[in-house]
Every structure is written in structure tokens, then in C-alpha cells.
Structure 1
Amino acid sequence: MRTVFLLYLITISFFSTAQEKLVTVNGNNYHVFVKGFENRGKNVPAVIFENGMGVDLGNWKKVLEQVSSFGPVFAYDRAGIGKSDKVFKMPTVQFVSENLHEILKTLKIAPPYILVGHSLGGVYIRSFAGFYPNEISGLVFIDPADFTETKNDWNAIFRTMGVPEKKIDEMLYNRLYQQKTTVDSMNFGPWSERQILNDLRKTDFAEVSKLPLPNVPIYFFVGGKFEVPPAQRSKDFDQEAFFHIKNNANMERWKKLMYSSGKGGTLIYLTNAGHYIHWDDPASVINNIRIMYEGLKE
């Protein structure tokens, strides 16, 4: 209890010194964090953070203050998350991208943007970059939900592991098509985001892959630490082996994505960090965002 209380005090102290407020867009209030824009020069990139599934902007508290020491920073809670209003619309990649664009416009935060996305936020920043490619100067993906993955890619991992085809088909069906569809209105934000990710996986992320990729530097952070407790692991296959094979397959596709940009990229594999890399190794995230930021200022 003492640890939780201390963490609470740290969080309160952090945000009390930050420029935290509500902004109204299309009749809805969005909780935002804005810092470092007072002396922003012309064409200096703003660093825009997009949260993972169902988590609020406090998830970035280990990196926001430090990044704002060298560049302007913006973070926010998507609709129905944290302190933002519930909006009973499905958070499709187009809706989230257009909504974020309108929030930035309302706050007069002009491009160019370095987009930083964690987990599902990686899908959203890839989409935002596709809708507004001329406004993007860099992309930073932190252990993203893999928007380059197809159902065949997923099945190929199990084939490598020697899982029978019948079992593979059964597991794919359970993953994508045997989902609870009853609307959770009390927790609509997190619930709807999970539904959207599931829908994108069904179509092999067709809505995302059709969008153009801006010609900008691309960084990927990959967490190499397997974190699933033994009691929660699958009884159908070796989940730790699956984790490492999947990571390797993801990285091969992400390297191709970086090469396609023409502006270079970096892939950072951190063996002591799990999915929440910005919590486990915030220094690596901060320092590499700084490298990208400084390179784009030149």
C-alpha cells in the first residue's frame, strides 16, 4: 500500500507541474498534456504521443517531462479513456486520426510531427501518417501491435512449432471470431479499441496497409522479455517459444518497412524490457527520440 501511495504522489507531483488541461473538439472534452511549445521555432517538430490500448496519458509519465526538456511535447487521452469524455463511436483508424488532427488544430499545434505510438498506438500513428503524410517528420513505434501481420503470418509461427493444422485453424478461429460482442457501455473506450484491433486483424490490416507511408525516419523498439506468468500460459503450445519466434518474424517485416522509407531507420531490441518499454527502459526511449529530434532539426 505504501508503494502504491508513493506512486500516486509521484504522479500527482508530475502532472501538477505540467500543462495539463481539457480541450473541446466536436462537442467533446479531451484530456491533453502540452509542454515545451513556448519557444518552438519554425519547422521544429512536435513530439506527439499515442497511448496503447485502453491506457491514459499517465502511461508516458516516465518520458514526457524528459522529452519536453529538448522538444515540444503533446499527449492525450483518446475518447472514453482516462479523463476524456466517452464518445459512443467506434475508434476506427480514420476516426482516431481525424480526431487527433482536429485536437492539434484546435490547440494550434502545427506540423511537422514526430509520432510516437505504443502497442495499439502504433497502429494509430501508422494510420495518422497515412492520412496526413505531408505533416510527418518521423515515426517511433514502441512494441506496436503488428499492423504488417497477416493471418498467414500468424499461422506460420505455429507451423514452425509443429502444431497440427486442425489445431491452428481452431486457435485462429478462437482468436478472431469467437469474441464477446456485447457492447460494454461502462467501459466503451477500452472495449471498443479491442474490437477495432480484432476487426483489423480479420482483414490483415487492409485499412492501414492501403495508406501511403511518408518518406521519414522510422524507429522500432521491441521488447524481448517474455512476461506471461507460468499459470497464465497456453496449454496448447509453448508460449515462450511462440513469443520469440513471433518477435523475430515481426522484426523482419519491420526492417523491410524501414528500408522502404528511404530516410533510414533504427530497430532497438531490448532483452530486459517487456511490452511497456517506456516503463522498463525509459532512458532508451528518451535518448533515441532525442537522436531523431536533433537529426530532424539540422
Structure 2
Amino acid sequence: MKVSKRISVYISIVSLFAISCNNDDDQVLTPSNLVDVGNHKLYTETAGDGEHTLVFESGLGDNYESWFKLLGLAETHQVIAYNRAGYEPSETATNERSIIQLAADLHQVILSKSKNNQVILVGHSLGGAVVRYYTVQHPEMVEGIVFVDPSHEDFEVMTQEQEDDMVHFFKGEGLFQIANEAEQFIENFQVLDQLSTLPNVPVVVLTSIKDREGEDEERWISAHATLGDNLTNFTHITTENSGHYIQVEEPQLVIDAIGAVLE
């Protein structure tokens, strides 16, 4: 099957999942748990204790291991990482996998596992869209946000044909959990386009420009900058030292961003 340039970029990004899960860190998490979110159960890893709870939301095609280099933060904070529905050993969901449903699942994970009344959300790529929607719906639950090269509707314009090609590719590869999320991309962007601005909590946005240039770079930076609209504590950082997986290639930058939110 011939895929468009835009779809090939998404496919290339998802292929980095194998890289994100390879690590040589010796951090060990506490035993996993299954969280019942209604009609399916999600695999979670929870570690640490403290006055702050960090919740990691992964990108398309990634499980909790994409955050492995940051899980050492459990030495001083509670850390919650989990696999969305369909990412084994989480159970498969029977409902559509738009950011609305993904945020509903996230809410149940937080209610079930967080030891604190509010959490710091750290979202990568598609996960950035999920935590953005979640924060607008549940502002009382969110202490701050770190966006790691998040998806954004002002940049990622997609036709139905392009979405269909991407979904067809993932299904052909047997990656049904990814296909189920990918087939909601256009709907996700429509939801985000109508979403109100974020509540006034500390926010840091990390934007990778390593693999972007010219107008593409300018539009990516500009889209991410809009996340700071109406916020009094907003920091936008661009990096040329890491690609889309900043948390894998440049984990200290994400750790520093979390520290800035907590200041």
C-alpha cells in the first residue's frame, strides 16, 4: 500500500516505540495492578510517595515503558504510569478510543491510584492531547502540566483518506490498539479545536525542532505556544538535541520541566 508523506511520518514516529522501551536503567517499580475503569481493566505501575503525584500519559503506540528514564522520580514523588486499553497486558476496550474516552480512563486511574488530591500530568504526543482535554474537564484534579512535544490541531491537519490509510496500515501490521486510537484523530482535532483554554495552572511545553525546518518548524512552535494562552505561569522550551521522543533522548529536560512546575 502506498501511504502519503504525512502518514509515513506518523508510522515512523510509532516505530520509535521499540527505541523508547529499550533501557539500561535499574529502577524497579512496585508490583503492577489492574485498574477497573468500567468495561475494561488497565495495567498500571505505581511507585513512590510524597506530596506530589506525577501521572504519565504516553503517545500513540507507546506503553508506560516509554517513560522508563523518568520513573526514578519515584524516589521523591508518587509516580503513576499505565498502559491504555489494548496495550498489553491492559484489556481491550469495546468503545471508541477518542481523547474523550482516553481522558475518562485516565480519570479512573487517578481516582484509583493517586495518594494526593491533585496530580502533575506529563503527556507526550497524543498523550498531550489527552491530558489537555482532561485538565479542562477536571481542573480541580490538576496541579500542573508538562507537555512533551504534544499533538496539536493547529498543525496536524489530516484528511479522512489520510486517516483511513494510517488505520489500514496499522491493522495490516496487527497493531489493532494503535489503529483504534488512530481512527479517532480527525475527531480528536475537532474536539481540541472547540476546547476552551487551560485553567490557570503551571504549564511547561517542550517542543522538538530537531527534525523540522522552515515553515514546518515555525508552525510547530506557534501551535505549541498557544497552549499558554491566558496562563500566568507558562514556559515554552524548544530543543534541537532530541527528536519527538524527548523523554527518551533528553530525559533531564523533562525532569527539569517537572521541577519547574513544582516550584
Fold shared by both chains (TM-score > 0.5)? yes
Q: Which moved more, 1:118-127 or 1:67-76?
A: 67-76
Query: Please, which runs of 5 or more residues in structure 2 have no aligned partner?
Result: 1-17
CA contact 1:52–1:118 (8 Å) conserved in 2? yes
Task: State the Cα distance separating 1:8 from its structure 2 match.
Answer: 6.3
Does residue 287 (structure 1) correspond to residue 256 (structure 2)? The answer is: yes
Which residue of structure 1 lines up, in the alignment, with residue 176 of structure 2?
188
Q: How far apart are residue 110 of structure 1 and its match?
A: 4.0
Report Cα offsets for 1:40-86 as digits up to 9, x if no partner: 3xxx3311100010110011111111x22232111100000132111
Cα pair 1:225 1:273 within 8 Å, conserved: yes
> Which runs of 5 or more residues in structure 1 are unaligned?
155-171, 227-239
RMSD (Å) for aligned C-alpha atoms:
2.8
Residues 1:182 and 1:281: Cα distance change in structure 2 (over 3 Å) = closer
- Secondary structure at the aligned position of 2:183 is classed as helix
Name 1:23's counterpart in structure 2: 34
1:145 corresponds to 2:166: no
Aligned with 1:210: secondary structure?
A: coil
Tell me: CA distance 1:199–1:179, structure 2 relative to 1, closer, same or farther (3 Å): farther
After superposition, the C-alpha distances for 1:256-276 in whole angstroms (9 at most, x for unaligned) are 4314122x2111111121000
Aligned residues: 242
Does the alignment pair 1:278 with 2:263?
no
2:66 alignment partner in structure 1: 59
User: In 2, Cα distance between the equivalents of 1:217 and 1:57?
Assistant: 24
Moved more, 191-200 or 51-60: 191-200
AA paired with 2:230?
A: S
- Taking the aligned partners of 1:108 and 1:277, their CA distance within structure 2 comes to 25
C-alpha distance in 1, partners of 2:256/2:31?
24
1:32 to 37, 44, 48: 44
> Matched residues, percent identical?
22
In structure 1, give the amino acid aligned to 2:68: K
| Corresponding position of 1:91 | 97
Are 1:245 and 2:215 matched, yes or no? yes
The alpha carbon displacement at 1:148 in A equals 4.0
Q: Is contact 2:40–2:93 with CA below 8 Å preserved after alignment?
A: yes
Deviation (angstroms), 1:180: 4.9
Q: Measure the CA separation in 2 of the matches of 1:107 and 1:34.
A: 7
Q: Which has the larger radius of gyration?
A: 1
**SS, match of residue 84 in structure 2:** coil
Work out whether residues 215 and 261 of structure 1, in 8 Å CA contact, stay in contact via their aligned partners in 2.
yes
Cα separation, 1, equivalents of 2:167 and 2:111:
37
Instruction: Find out whether 1:136 has 2:142 as its counterpart.
Output: yes
Cα distance in 2 for residues equivalent to 1:8 and 1:266 = 30
Q: Distance in 2 between matches of 1:208 and 1:74?
A: 29
Residue equivalent to 1:221: 206
In 1, the alpha carbon distance for the partners of 2:220 and 2:260 equals 24
| Cα distance change of structure 1 residues 47 and 245 upon mapping to structure 2, 3 Å threshold | same
